[in-house]
A and B are shown apart, each in its own frame.
Chain A
């Protein structure tokens, strides 16, 4: 039996497996081979072929083996494992993925260092592979495809970390709640989204593991589930509607006060659109006469029925406002068009604006359908001081200024820039793409990633000066953190200048990285 040193905090590593004995053995070995030794490893067999012999052969006292007969899914397995977890931190590994030996050490060092973040994540290779008839994997490509600095707002739309590269404080689970066993895909996003309500995330720009993705006929459960588009959408909506228990130290809540004229088909459609197109955490308050509310048959999460018999729109609004729990209030009239991005920019702008007395107009608002996002305290004050005025007039009387968000307050500027540059690259306009990257570098985060993309765009743009600059940039980047893709790019430049020996050496390095685990 192997024993291990106990310096540093205990880290619990969870690994759940289902019928992938072949890869599980390597995955488990990569956990047990960590440089950081103070581990508790919880290996769950989720009702698949037994892995007991593999766990026994490891002969390591740090491993707890949960051997369940019934297949209950990853979320259930994680929740079951978390009941045994004793570490200060929790890390995860897929049963067909790999940690590099420094993975846990690197993440622990970061979380124990000078940071308030309770979550850290590193970069990892996505390894594209072909599963051969004998079950072995042939590596087709290996690229760092998720490497971006933490963006809480983006996390509400899309998971930009994976569990394989993440470590978080165990005590955060008490706040987020357990894994959601009602969803079958994007379980990791559901949890990282909820973690973002309570903690910052620290991005470690170091490649510490490998995540395997079969290119065709994937045996990944999440891949198969995604093929069922309706089921996939149901899961996404369930994730987006997730509201862990408050308080939310790192997240803003928005109370949407929807005021249709009555409970008719148009109002029903508006509710459905709200459910579909609202990414920020929200509750919808619907102040209508009880008779109208009785006709409403909706399972929409976060919907608060507010019985309000008054004929006055302002009084019905006040009834809803009294029950609003959000940091922000969105005033939404019946008939307002609800579509992708209808409220994100306004919420983002208000979130990042410290000035009092500011409201931001919804993207689809117009004079006939005036809609605004304001701070709840401010609209409460306006209604308290001017209860006889209309909602808008009362806020204007309190000097709340309504604005369209200026471009500097827009969310997703980084992503829009990246999309624009990628589009230019697809068109073959690498000169312009390089210009976009330069602009983004001047004002955005993700500096290292942008430098890499800039170097590639310069290399492809073809000019002599650009080519020289690209060569210098690629050399610096590949000295610090070589990846097969960037070594290939540098080799191509070397070949262009007839430095074939140098190119061969770079490509040999890329080829070695491609085949080593």
Chain B
């Protein structure tokens, strides 16, 4: 039973209008009906000003429309309202990425993963930012942590294999790619990378 500050029970349905509007905003955003999504998120934010989710929604819509300043402002508002809002950091990272500020994106993705290490958008975004910047050390750790909990996620495992390969950890890359192909044989990119890694391994001098 949830109680309010005065000890009265918080009843089911007290935030129902907010939840309907938020869900409807999400739906419209998915359908590309940006204007309607924007209106829903705005209304949801007015109904429950303590919630960061509608602000994130506003940021996503702005991002989809290419209004980067507006998106950054909305994500920033969400972060101020809820400093643990992983989606706000992820949104800010995407804004940075679109501005080709890969270092900023990298930092925001890392902050996002601190609050939600399962955030796939942040993981893949981090991977992309890493590729742009040519630094991979930090991201390997997060991908490994994610895969501990989602061992069947071949997309992330393939990213990790790519990073291993780029970092010269060829045996690890080979293992990861074999697993990817065992789980999902129809993955030509993985097969191609495996062939490349195998070739590189053969080129390495034998050690006793």
Contact = CB atoms under 8 A, between A and B. Distances in A.
A488 B14 CA distance: 14
B13 A514 contact: no
Contacts of A364: none
A143 B13 contact: yes
Chain A interface secondary structure, helix, strand, loop or mixed?
Answer: helix
B24 interface: yes
A140 B18 contact: yes
B24 A504 contact: yes
Contact of A511 (B4, B8, B21, B30): B21
A492 interface: yes
Contacts of B19: 488
A141 B24 contact: no
A140 B26 CA distance: 19
Nearest to B33: A504
Interface string B101-133: 000000000000000000000000000000000
A500 B30 contact: yes
Interface in A120-172: 126, 128, 138-143, 145
Interface residues on B, range: 20 to 34
Chain B interface secondary structure, helix, strand, loop or mixed?
Answer: helix
B16 interface: yes
B171 interface: no
A500 B26 CA distance: 9
B27 A485 contact: no
Q: Which of B6, B17, B18, B28 has the most CB of A within 10 A?
A: B17
Contacts of A495: 23, 26-27, 30
B24 A508 contact: yes
A215 interface: yes
B183 interface: no
Contact of B28 (A138, A215, A504): A504
B12 interface: yes
Interface in A179-206: none
B19 to A, nearest CB: 6
Contacts of A485: 12-13, 16
A500 B37 CA distance: 13
B186 interface: no
B20 A514 contact: yes
B102 to A, nearest CB: 32
Rank and list the top 6 A-B pairs by shortest CB-CB distance, nearest first: A143-B13, A141-B16, A507-B24, A141-B13, A504-B27, A128-B14
Given A142-B17, A216-B4, A492-B23, 9 more contacts: A126-B13, A128-B13, A141-B15, A226-B8, A488-B16, A488-B20, A504-B28, A507-B27, A511-B20
15 contacts: A126-B13, A128-B14, A139-B17, A142-B13, A142-B17, A145-B11, A145-B13, A484-B17, A500-B27, A503-B27, A504-B28, A507-B20, A507-B27, A514-B17, A514-B20
